[in-house]
Amino acid sequence: MAIGQRYTEILDAAGEVFARRGYHVATTREIARAARLSLAGLYHYVGDKDELLFLVLARALDTLLQSLDQALAAARTPEARLLALIRTHLECGFTHGAALRVINRDWELLAPPRRGEVAAKRRAYIERGVRVLADVDPRGRSGDELYSAINLLLGMLNGITAGPFVRSAGDARVLAEQVGGLFLHGFLQPSAEPHDAALALFGGTHDA
Amino acid sequence: MAIGQRYTEILDAAGEVFARRGYHVATTREIARAARLSLAGLYHYVGDKDELLFLVLARALDTLLQSLDQALAAARTPEARLLALIRTHLECGFTHGAALRVINRDWELLAPPRRGEVAAKRRAYIERGVRVLADVDPRGRSGDELYSAINLLLGMLNGITAGPFVRSAGDARVLAEQVGGLFLHGFLQPSAEPHDAALALFGGTHDA
DNA sequence: GGGGTCCGTTCGAACATCCGTTCGGTCGGA
DNA sequence: TCCGACCGAACGGATGTTCGAACGGACCCC
């Protein structure tokens, strides 16, 4: 492949616009302008608005999966692997927040043939999560239970990255520890770490 | 007020269509058809598509808040109150799943004046959650920490109700216990209850 | 080296369609 | 006769998409 540089620029622009405005509010004209291209020029590179969304989603999921595998390989203990998963997810949510937001909100808008492909990548990602959870699980939970648990965890993480929180990548590390601690030991855990100001870093779900 | 019955029928239809298709994909013609009304007939009752979304959201949030207050008043211990919150949220997500889905996905699409009103209701709901969490908190967490924690919890719950899980209201009770247990005691908790098949009730995030 | 020609890139302008919204009018009961 | 409920038909605008053409460098043949 080794796709042209112009091509990736267009995908970057499209991803940014999709994330900021949502698939249906974003117009092809707006995307073309963001890519510094005329409308017809955009259609020279891409056949369809749907294809544009697909490319953005596929690329984002690929880098997310790649980052995850890299982080998992570097971690030693099962617990560290879980922390790595959480941190990677948050980091991707902060740095490429644009793309991740599109993934969670707009991927169902894809036309069926391409949606299946994106769904497969999503499943692969969740599959990784299940294996990580299985390793830290003290009691032998069933696959379905682990599947549910990882969905709960991802729900928490997406709740963080979806809202207008802090977006510094530096926060991801300390934030991951907090979230991981809560997930592993629960809200009732007496007092895990003394650096408790971190959870206060991100706020709530506000409006404009 | 005591709004006419036809009016609430229209809101029901609109909420169902919004939930199934999303705000921008749903057309006023589709909503009119679902309400067994002509297009112009729909506009006799409602001035705007935006107003329609607002009414759906406002009504859903009102019933959610009302159900929550009712459940909270009936619960005795702080822990029971947290369970009640979780169960109410899940029940609303299952029975009126349509509306809740709209709340989490489409409320940002409202035009600014009405969006503020909905945001206020949202904040009121979260405020309830913060107070509930404050009561079960063993260490004295700050308001911001509690705020973050309730957002994490709601993220989990929305992750459940957003996906294509089981929608029977009977599941909500046992599911709430499972989720509540996980949130309070953590994933590492050795073995809380023996009835572990419940978490397996709901599946993952699939496609069509 | 020069003229000709292809081809990738880019554009302005339009086309077709769909969607939110409105207008004028009909019908039936008070 | 009035009035609210309801409808068929249209209007205006926005949006995804396409068409035909211009520009410019690469390559070829003489």
- Asked if B139 has any chain A CB less than 8 Å from its own CB, the reply is yes
Which pTM does this prediction carry?
Answer: 0.84
What integer best gives the mean pLDDT of chain B? 85
Strand extents, DSSP E, chain B: none
Residue A147 to residue A127: CA distance in whole angstroms: 8
Mean pLDDT score of chain A: 85
Residue A206 confidence class, pLDDT cut points 50, 70, 90: very low
Question: In this complex, do B149 and A199 lie within 8 Å of one another by their Cβ atoms?
Answer: yes
What pLDDT band is residue B95 in, cutting at 50, 70 and 90? confident
Question: What are residue A117's phi and psi, to 5 degrees?
Answer: -65, -45
Mean pLDDT within A18-45 = 95
Contact check, Cβ <8 Å, B186/A190: no
The answer to whether B151 contacts chain A (CB < 8 Å) is yes
pLDDT tens by residue, A130-181: 999 999 999 889 888 899 899 999 999 988 877 655 555 567 788 899 999 9
Q: pLDDT band for position B45 (50/70/90)?
A: very high
Residues A32-42 have pLDDT tens digits of 999 999 999 99
Query: Residue B175 and residue B170: Cα distance in Å, rounded?
Result: 9
Residue B102's pLDDT band (cuts 50, 70, 90): confident
Which of B105, B147, B152 has the CB atom closest to A156's CB atom? B152
> Within its chain, how far is the Cα of A26 from the centroid?
20
